[in-house]
Amino acid sequence: MADGTDTKSSNQMWGGRFASGPAAIMEEINASIGFDKKLFAQDIRGSIAHAGMLAHQGIISTEDKDKIVHGLNTILSEIESGNFEFSRRLEDIHMNVEARLATLIGPAAGRLHTARSRNDQVALDFRLWVKEELQKCEQALTELMSAFLDRAEEHADSVMPGFTHLQTAQPVTFGHHCMAYVEMFGRDRSRVRHAIEHMDESPIGAAALAGTGFPIDRHMTAKALGFREPTRNSIDTVSDRDFALEFLSIAAIAGMHLSRLAEEIVIWSTPQFGFVRLSDAFSTGSSIMPQKKNPDAAELVRAKTGRINGSLVALLTIMKGLPLAYSKDMQEDKEQVFDAAESLELAIAAMTGMVRDMTINTARMKAAAGSGYSTATDLADWLVREAGLPFRDAHHVTGRAVALAESKSCDLAELSLEELQAIHPAITAKIFDVLTVEASVASRKSYGGTAPSEVRKQIAFWRARN
């Protein structure tokens, strides 16, 4: 070589994995078939629709179209049966399919790529895949919500402590707590539905970035592929990955909700809380501590959120500096989405199983609901409602009652009437009607409150929508 280095030392610089030097490195970094082969069904589906449109418009012959469709269906069968050999040399799923099609049907295969580019082809394949994944996600969220609705109905009257700052706040019902997650996952499902609506446009026909001079019918291919309409700007079409980012955003928010639930299950299943018990199907033991029963499924759901968040940040970072239109950077979009989709699908399924599987210790929950002077607010509300005190004065009186109960190591309901009247003379024996946890939750009848009657109304509302 002119600079005095020989081929052997040059190859050593590239490393043993790339024995043939720069060409091997380029093949390694350029090839996407290792992951985008997941799009084979969408790629073939898009090509069949495109071929049908080309024939309908007289751009290719019906005979060539029939050969192309037959060949593509043969390739689909080969891939599905595991008899298709993918080649890294051919870079991606599009070229692998096209090369095999040429082998099967000859020169007619070359007509398939008329009036399209790999740029709009990959945009189509990826969009189809994400749309299908969103539809799966919608169904999975519906099943998770259904599991919560069943548990809420079962435990509309079951009292438990409500928390703020993870400190006992006010008594609620377990059914009401379950319905909080129905609301959360309902918003996730709504975001999924909106995302499907946003992305329901067909990219095929945008070609490389400027459209095509062939007399194609993009509305025909959009309809054939189940899209509402074609995209309206060819530059944006091949540049856009908003649909993937929106999917990852939805996945990250849903993952966060799943993680919060997972954390509660982890806490609730500890001996210190003992609110729920998971079966062996969703737990593991310890290799050295026979008494342990670890909520591993919940912990792994909690961890999956980190992977999903990472995928969102990765794709945002990939896209943030790209000029219009297509850049090769966008090849790095798919692995992030594939991984997040797999993580989210598994996490929702695991959580649905845990919600249906867990045993609820209602006695333990009820005992805990009365701890920490959780009915103190009920005492203050009674003083406002029955004795006419301003709330701030009632708050002060209640604080004195809590301090007295603490000094006597008893609950508020265990204080005598005389002791309470010594704090404020307006207190009567009727106060004891509101100091139990059952009375507390029953009184919270405001719309969306924890009263069992309100919980059942919300269950009925969501049953009608689910």
* Given the residues 9, 20, 190, 286, the one annotated as active site: 286
**Which is nearest to 260 in space by CA: 319, 305, 307?**
305
Confirm if 104 and 75 have CB atoms less than 8 A apart: yes
Cis status, amide bond into 325, omega within 30 of 0: yes
| Residue 360, beta-bridge partner list | 276
* Given the residues 165, 287, 409, 446, the one annotated as active site: 165
User: What is the spatial distance between Cα 72 and Cα 116, in angstroms, rounded to a whole number?
Assistant: 17
User: What is the spatial distance between Cα 240 and Cα 251, in angstroms, rounded to a whole number?
Assistant: 19
Tokens (6 digits) for 137? 């996600």
Which residues fall within 8 angstroms of residue 156, CB to CB, at 6 or more apart? 173, 175, 176, 452, 455, 456, 459
Strands 201-202 and 276-277: unpaired
- Tell me which residue has tokens 């269950």: 459
**Which is nearest to 353 in space by CA: 280, 250, 304?**
280
Confirm if 251 and 342 have CB atoms less than 8 A apart: no
Q: Which amino acid, residue 60?
A: I
* Residue 211 φ/ψ region, left for φ over 0, alpha for ψ in the -120 to 50 degree band, beta for the rest: left
Query: DSSP secondary structure string, 276-319?
Result: EE--GGG-B--SS-TT--B-HHHHHHHHHHHHHHHHHHHHHHHH
Tokens (6 digits) for 307? 């992977």
Catalytic residue status for 286 = yes
User: What is the spatial distance between Cα 73 and Cα 50, in angstroms, rounded to a whole number?
Assistant: 14
- Number of residues assigned to the chain: 466
Tell me the CA distances in angstroms from 401 to 167, 286, 397, 411, 444, one per residue in order. 19, 46, 6, 10, 22
List of E strands, 80-190: 159-164, 167-173
Catalytic residue status for 165 = yes
Catalytic residue ranges: 165, 286
